[in-house]
């Protein structure tokens, strides 16, 4: 969670990209159980390959 005073500055997006890029580099899969993560991956299709088929939408 990003502190309220820092909202809207793209910090959560940068954290998500860093985490997903790390997962890709380590050849990990991501199960997007968090709504923010699921929405981010849905909006950024370049990360869809990290999600197991049964968890994609």
Indicate the number of domains in the chain: 1
- Residue 54 has a pLDDT of 86
- Residue 10 has a pLDDT of 87
- Residue 43 has a pLDDT of 95
Q: Do residues 49 and 25 lie in contact, with contact meaning Cβ atoms separated by under 8 Å?
A: no
- Residue 57 has a pLDDT of 75
With respect to residue 1, please indicate whether it lies within any of the assigned structural domains: no
Distance CA(34)–CA(30), nearest Å, equals 11
- Residue 30 has a pLDDT of 96
Which of 55, 56, 46 shows the shortest CA–CA distance to 16?
A: 46
With respect to residue 5, please indicate whether it lies within any of the assigned structural domains: no
Instruction: Write out the residue range of the structural domain in which residue 38 sits.
Output: 11-55
Q: What is the pLDDT of residues 1-54, one digit of tens each?
A: 678 888 889 888 999 999 999 999 999 999 999 999 999 999 999 999 999 998
With respect to residue 39, please indicate whether it lies within any of the assigned structural domains: yes
With respect to residue 38, please indicate whether it lies within any of the assigned structural domains: yes
Distance CA(50)–CA(1), nearest Å, equals 22
First and final C-alpha spacing in the chain: 24
Structure tokens at 39: 């929405």
């Amino acid at each position: 969670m990003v502190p309220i005073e820092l909202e809207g500055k793209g910090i959560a997006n940068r954290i998500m990209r860093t985490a997903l890029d790390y997962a890709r580099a380590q050849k990990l899969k991501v199960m997007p159980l968090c709504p923010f993560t699921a929405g981010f991956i849905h909006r950024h299709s370049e990360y869809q390959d990290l999600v197991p088929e049964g968890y994609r939408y």
